[in-house]
Amino acid sequence: MATHTTNYRATFIEVAEDCPTDHATEPPAGDPPTIAALQYRLIAEEPYAHTSDDVVFAVHALRRGMDPDDSAAREEFFSKGQPCLRSSPLGKRYGWGILSDEQGRVALVARESQTYAALAADPALGHTRAMRSRRAPR
């Protein structure tokens, strides 16, 4: 069975062009927790501990009452393509850049920080943006 991945390596996912905030904010927790809140908690509490695949599958599993450590369910989940963290509300709505290190492990970077500005200008990193929430005007 072919496996797909959402992982980036040595890449900075910058905030979407149409992100409505000029500073990073923690997503509201909600009950049940939103995708944004779960992603935020997983990444913010343990920066560089999880890959994008880890985060994407854990959120999927938690929202469906599954065990995030179920390797068979994870293999089945990634047997087809899944949206990567470019589609995350963290970069689209809440003002967080997402940095993937050389091993694909991720950390959050607040868009108003000096670290964000330095990473956005770093030619040694791959660069992409979070997906826009709306279509670009024609």
The pLDDT, as a whole number, for residue 136 is 58
Query: Splitting the chain (138 residues) into consecutive groups of 10 residues, what average pLDDT does each group show?
Result: 84 96 93 94 97 96 93 93 94 97 97 97 96 73
Residue 98 lies in a domain: yes
The pLDDT, as a whole number, for residue 137 is 58
Q: Do residues 10 and 127 lie in contact, with contact meaning Cβ atoms separated by under 8 Å?
A: no
Number of domains in the chain: 1
Residue 112 lies in a domain: yes
Residue 6 lies in a domain: no
In angstroms, how far is CA 116 from the centroid of its own chain? 15
In which domain, by residue range, is 27 found?
Answer: 11-129
Residue 134 lies in a domain: no
- 101: how many CB neighbours lie within 10 A of its CB? 16
Residue 137 lies in a domain: no
The pLDDT, as a whole number, for residue 2 is 57
Residue 82 lies in a domain: yes
pTM: 0.92
The secondary structure of residue 86, as a DSSP letter, is G
The pLDDT, as a whole number, for residue 95 is 97
In angstroms, the Cα distances linking 2 to 74, 80, 96 are: 12, 8, 31
